[in-house]
Amino acid sequence: MAALFDQTMINGMTLRNRLIRSATWEGMCDQDGRPTEKLINWYRDLAQGGVGLIVSGYTFVLPEGKGFPGKMGIHTDDFASDYENLTSTVHNAGGKVAIQLVHAGGETNSTYAGRQPLAPSAVKVDQFPEMPAELSKEEIIDTISAFGEGARRAKGWGFDGVQLHGAHGFLINQFLSPLTNRRTDEYGGSIENRSRFLFEVYRKVRETVGPDYPVFIKLNASDHLDGGLEIDDAVYAAKELAKGGIDAIEVSAGTPASGEKGPAREKILKPEKEAYNLPLARRIKETVNCPVMVVGGFRSYEVAENTIRDDGMDYIAMARPLIREPGLANRWVQGDRSPATCISCNSCFMPGLEEGGIYCVIEKKVQEKAAKA
Ligand SMILES: Cc1cc2nc3c(=O)[nH]c(=O)nc-3n(C[C@H](O)[C@H](O)[C@H](O)COP(=O)(O)O)c2cc1C
Ligand code: SF4
């Protein structure tokens, strides 16, 4: 019977357990997207903390695909030694690390993107102030190539795999969603057309890295928005990707415009509130033969273990609990199985925007109080 701390393998990559660090923007890179020593130390702590696989914060493949400050970039060969330093640091600490490749699409602004944001269609995204420009066919082709180039660099620089960001309202998700994709060419309309961009990105990445290298996707199974992407379309995309050899699908849901049903829900303070994407992940799991990862609100050991043992999920992914406790996996392995101490308040975003990097604001207060006592 499958268990949380099983060692597993995905396309040649050994994972020491079934706990994944879900992609988490840290906001610790320089203006251009170059990793800093602070970021590398963050990854060292995560690797030492015992998770089976770290998925990096979202990393832009083209400068115009940048959103949020301090985001990682993989649009240039210039960052080779910095990323090699990051991957070797993780490996020396016994960890594995995949990089999450993203283009923010219309979910950014011209300050971060350096130009008017680009999107499948000129449809404004709630919570982002600017009307994006519709991508031309030529720009679509360039963007697909940029995902391929990002994957080539990632593999060459020692990453153990790549994950496409197909969730949370960013460009791939915008193509999939009828709310943001109003195109009348072969990239819009039916789900076959709306998923064309994703499949072309996946094929380009797969061609670039070859069959023996892990390629994953984080996929929205629902946008939780009226008129947005829904589970049946997500099932179609997942099924086709699985047929095409994707190595794992991480199921998420929601966008920053989805209110209480956004990707990082608040107040996950009792087990009934946990695992909020599990019903959608079950639907994906039923239809694909590749491993399925589920993210969203995992806080207690029991819920995580049951999700593997009874619900048949292959991996549990967590983001916020590992901001507060990078050593959570080791703590559970060593026998202290009390829940993650993260209270799901989302205060950690703010220092990423304003102070050059995320941290757990609550833990900092606890430490300061303890120091004064
Ligand atoms: C500070 C912060 C940064 C995040 N950055 C990313 C990201 O770069 N890519 C991504 O796919 N999800 C990102 N997320 C969403 C998380 O990966 C995850 O899907 C969500 O927080 C729910 O999981 P949790 O309850 O374990 O935190 C971020 C979440 C937080 C709190
Ligand atoms: S600030 Fe700390 S407690 Fe609040 S969500 Fe972030 S990691 Fe969790």
Task: Give pLDDT tens digits for 230-250.
Answer: 999 999 999 999 999 999 999
Q: Is 82 helix (H, G, I), strand (E, B) or coil?
A: helix
Q: Which of 344, 364, 368 to mutate to test the pocket of ligand 2 (most atoms within 8 A of CB)?
A: 344
Whether pLDDT at 325 is above 90: yes
Angle between helices 137-156 and 80-92 (to 10 degrees): 50
Q: Residue 3: CB partners within 8 Å, gap ≥ 6?
A: 18, 305, 308, 309
Q: Which of 299, 343, 353 to mutate to test the pocket of ligand 2 (most atoms within 8 A of CB)?
A: 343
DSSP character at residue 358: -
pLDDT at 125: 85
Q: How would residue 127 be classed by pLDDT, with cut points 50, 70 and 90? A: confident
How crowded is the C-beta side of 268, counted as CA atoms within 13 Å? 28
Report in angstroms the alpha-carbon separations of 333 from 51, 85, 145, 288, 346: 10, 28, 42, 30, 26
Q: Is 229 helix (H, G, I), strand (E, B) or coil?
A: coil
Which residue lies with its CA nearest to atom 23 of ligand 1? 296
How far does the centroid of ligand 1 lie from the alpha carbon of residue 320, in Å?
7
How far does the centroid of ligand 1 lie from the alpha carbon of residue 263, in Å?
7
Residues 154, 214: Cα–Cα separation, whole Å: 11
Ligand number with the minimum distance to the CA of 323 = 2
User: Does residue 218 line the site of ligand 1, with CB under 6 A?
Assistant: yes
How far does the centroid of ligand 2 lie from the alpha carbon of residue 349, in Å?
9
pLDDT at 206: 98
Q: Kindly give the number of the ligand 2 atom that is closest to the alpha carbon of 324.
A: 7
Residue type, 370: A
Which residue lies with its CA nearest to atom 29 of ligand 1? 24
Residues 74, 233: Cα–Cα separation, whole Å: 30
Whether pLDDT at 373 is above 90: no
Which residue lies with its CA nearest to atom 20 of ligand 1? 264
Whether pLDDT at 293 is above 90: yes
Report in angstroms the alpha-carbon separations of 57 from 39, 60, 71, 339, 357: 10, 10, 8, 24, 12
How far does the centroid of ligand 1 lie from the alpha carbon of residue 295, in Å?
9
Is the pTM here over 0.95, yes or no? yes
Other CB atoms within 10 Å distance of the CB of residue 369: 9
Whether pLDDT at 129 is above 90: no
